């Protein structure tokens, strides 16, 4: 897969290593796969010779799977990405202090449940983190593809 990424001028960091919270990694993978669907489709049809490639390609292109990937990526943008930035391994915030940020997140999640269109708002997140603080360069286009529908 690395050589495919390199030959197609794709940043290898678009498929992240496992780092941090499992939910964050799951949602980040959803966003990455959603963003890379066309490239993965090309890989599965032109490069991958495994017998299961056709099944993976069919599943990947299923509209329900695409919707799940999109929503998972949006939750990563709104919830777990900002959580990782604000609280994960942040020695400046004590466990006791983190409670106020978690209360804010719960409040924002309730607001999101009442108004789900906020998932597509590029600036909305549950921890009130500046979006530019937790967007890495390689994921900026990816996140924009999730919110620019």
Tens-of-pLDDT digits for all 149 residues of the chain?
678 788 888 877 777 666 667 888 888 889 889 989 999 999 999 988 889 999 999 999 999 999 999 999 998 888 988 888 888 878 888 888 899 999 999 999 999 999 989 888 888 999 988 876 655 555 566 666 666 65
CA atoms within 13 A on the CB side of 126: 26
* pLDDT of 52: 92
Name residue, tokens 């890495």.
136
Predicted local distance difference test score (pLDDT) of residue 90: 81
29, 102, 129, 117 alpha-carbon torsion, rounded to 10°: 70
- What integer pLDDT is reported at residue 20 of this predicted model? 64
Phi-psi sector, 20: left (phi>0), alpha (psi -120 to 50), beta: left
- Contact indicator for 78, 126 with CB cutoff of 8 Å: yes
Q: What is the pLDDT of residue 66?
A: 95
């Amino acid at each position: 897969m690395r050589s495919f990424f390199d030959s197609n001028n794709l940043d290898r960091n678009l498929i992240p290593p496992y780092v941090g919270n499992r939910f964050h990694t799951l949602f980040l993978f959803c966003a990455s796969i959603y963003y890379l669907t066309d490239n993965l489709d090309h890989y599965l049809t032109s490069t991958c010779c495994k017998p299961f490639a056709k099944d993976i390609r069919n599943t990947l292109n299923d509209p329900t799977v695409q919707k799940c990937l999109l929503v998972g990526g949006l939750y990563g943008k709104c919830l777990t990405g900002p959580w990782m930035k604000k609280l994960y391994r942040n020695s400046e915030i004590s466990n006791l202090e983190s409670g106020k940020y978690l209360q804010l997140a719960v409040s924002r999640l309730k607001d999101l449940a009442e108004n789900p269109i906020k998932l597509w708002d590029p600036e909305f997140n549950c921890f009130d983190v500046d979006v530019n603080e937790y967007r890495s360069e390689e994921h900026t286009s990816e996140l924009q593809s999730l919110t620019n529908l």
